[in-house]
Amino acid sequence: MQKFKRQIPNALTILRIILIPIFIYCALNDFFILTLIMFVVASLTDMFDGVIARKFGYVSNFGKIIDPLADKLLVASALIIFSYWGIVLWWLTAIILLREIFLTIYRELLKKKGIFLAANRYGKMKTTTQMVTIIATLAYRAVLPKIVIIDTILTIMYFLVALLAWMSAIIYIYQVRKERHET
pLDDT digits (tens, 9 = 90+) for 55-89: 877 777 777 778 888 989 999 999 999 999 999 99
E strand intervals along the chain: none
What's the pLDDT at 35?
97
Cβ atoms of residues 167 and 122 within 8 Å: yes
What's the pLDDT at 143?
93
Checking if the pLDDT of 3 tops 80, the result is no
- DSSP count for the chain of H helices, then E strands: 7, 0
What's the pLDDT at 1?
67
- Mean pLDDT along residues 95-113: 90
Cβ atoms of residues 34 and 87 within 8 Å: no
pTM (2 d.p.): 0.88
Checking if the pLDDT of 91 tops 80, the result is yes
Cβ atoms of residues 104 and 76 within 8 Å: no
Q: Give the domain CATH number at 32.
A: 1.20.120.1760
- The pLDDT tens digits for 28-59 are 999 999 999 999 999 999 888 888 888 877 77
- The pLDDT tens digits for 113-155 are 887 777 778 888 888 899 999 999 999 999 988 888 999 999 9
Q: Where in the sequence is the domain holding 164, given as residue range(s)?
A: 2-182
Categorize the per-residue pLDDT at 159 as very low, low, confident or very high, splitting at 50, 70 and 90: very high
Closest CA to 75 of 63, 92, 59, 62: 92
What's the pLDDT at 150?
92
Domain count, the chain: 1
